Amino acid sequence: MSQARNSTARSLAAHAVLILYTAIALFPVFVVVVNSFKNRRAIFADPLAVPTADTFDLIGYRTVLAQGDFFLYFQNSLIVTVASLFFVLLFGAMAAFALSEYRFRGNTLTGLYLALGIMIPIRLGTVAILQMMVASGLVNTLTALVLVYTAQGLPLAVFILSEFMRGVSDDLKNAGRIDGLSEYTIFFRLVLPLVRPAMATVAVFTMIPIWNDLWFPLILAPSEATKTITLGSQVFIGQFVTNWNAVLAALSLAILPVLVLYLIFSRQLIRGITAGAVK
């Protein structure tokens, strides 16, 4: 009896702590989104209240959409993220396949060389990267960002994908070889579909830092036409500091797409972290 009561009490305590922490994690996001729908007076009078018919106001959103070129920023972010993701996944998977499938001289060395980038941040090379981009005329282009993010994402992608590719059955690949498939067909037709879950994990891990990065857009592509949404909202909010409606609306607009994507992919992400960490 006492055992049962004890465990109920313990589980209640666990829930209490977790609910408390969940509240801490979500509260700031909640406050910002809720207040972005209120008029100025209500934002200050009662920041914690949800908007009512009286206080509901979309003035902030109207300002944001009229002033900032958020659709363009959003489009830039989307292009950069999707293109970088494509190259990271394609090149990463190819290299991972070569490293995990074939034995050749320099295999371990190449693996280590590529893995270096996991520990050493690409930002430290910024000075020379900027000079290189200036020299090749790529400053203020999205291409510069795609190149940098591809290089940045590759080390982790190769590392995770080669772990997974070692698990693909040899019999299957050898059966393909006996049937006369080329190595390329084996890779694209047999192996890639089998590591799709791992690819999704890598995709999520690669995507978040690219979408959220401020450093490289700020240094390599700060022009109006190439601003990403992260840089765009940073600049916009900096200019509109005193217009609380606009700032709150801009923040909500920046939060929303990420949040929706996260809720769609959260299971994949969590499975990925859990699977990777067990190794």
Partner 1 sequence: MAQRKAFRWHIMVFLAPAVLVYTAIMIVPLFGTLNLSLFNTTEEGRVFVGLKNFATLFGDPRWSERFWNALGNNAWFFLVHMLVQNPVGVALAALLSSPRLRGAAFYRTAIFIPTILSFVIVGFVWKLILSPIWGIAPGMLDAVGLKGLFAPWLGREGSALTTLALISVWQFVGIPMMLIYAALLSIPDEVIEAAEMDGVTGWSQFWKIKLPLILPSIGIISILTFVGNFNAFDLIYVTQGALAGPNFSTDILGTFLYRTFFGFQLQIGDPHMGATIATAMFGIILLGVSLYLFTVHRRLRRYQF
String marking each residue 57-76 x if it binds partner 1 according to CB under 8 A: --------------------
196-212 vs 142-165: helix axis angle to the nearest 10? 150
Compute the half-sphere exposure of residue 124: CA atoms within 13 Å on the CB side of its CA.
5
Tokens of 224: 């109006």
Within 221-250, which residues bind partner 1 (CB under 8 A)?
230, 233-234, 237, 244, 247-248
CB of 114 to partner 1, least distance (A): 6
* Separation of CA 197 from chain center: 17
CB of 132 to partner 1, least distance (A): 6
**Which residue lies nearer to partner 1 by CB, 79 or 269?**
269
Burial class (CB in 10 A: 0-12, 13-18, 19+), 75: middle
**Which residue lies nearer to partner 1 by CB, 53 or 78?**
78
Considering only 64, 211, 220, 227, the residue that binds partner 1 (CB under 8 A) is 211
DSSP states of 86-132 = HHHHHHHHHHHHHHHH---TTHHHHHHHHHHHHHS-GGGGHHHHHHH
Considering only 66, 124, 135, 264, the residue that binds partner 1 (CB under 8 A) is 124
Rounded Cα distance, 14 and 8, in Å: 10
CB of 41 to partner 1, least distance (A): 13
Within 5-34, which residues bind partner 1 (CB under 8 A)?
10-11, 14-15, 17-18, 21-22, 24-26, 28-29, 31-32
CB of 43 to partner 1, least distance (A): 8
Judged by CB under 8 A, does residue 150 bind partner 1?
Answer: yes
Q: Name which of 114, 119, 70, 78 is nearest 96 in CA terms.
A: 114
**Which residue lies nearer to partner 1 by CB, 47 or 54?**
47
Please say whether the beta carbons of 161 and 195 come within 8 A: yes
**Which residue lies nearer to partner 1 by CB, 53 or 241?**
241
**Which residue lies nearer to partner 1 by CB, 129 or 195?**
129
Please say whether the beta carbons of 250 and 35 come within 8 A: no
**Which residue lies nearer to partner 1 by CB, 53 or 128?**
128
Judged by CB under 8 A, does residue 43 bind partner 1?
Answer: yes
Within 104-123, which residues bind partner 1 (CB under 8 A)?
104, 110, 113-114, 116-117, 119-123
Rounded Cα distance, 65 and 71, in Å: 8
CB of 52 to partner 1, least distance (A): 19
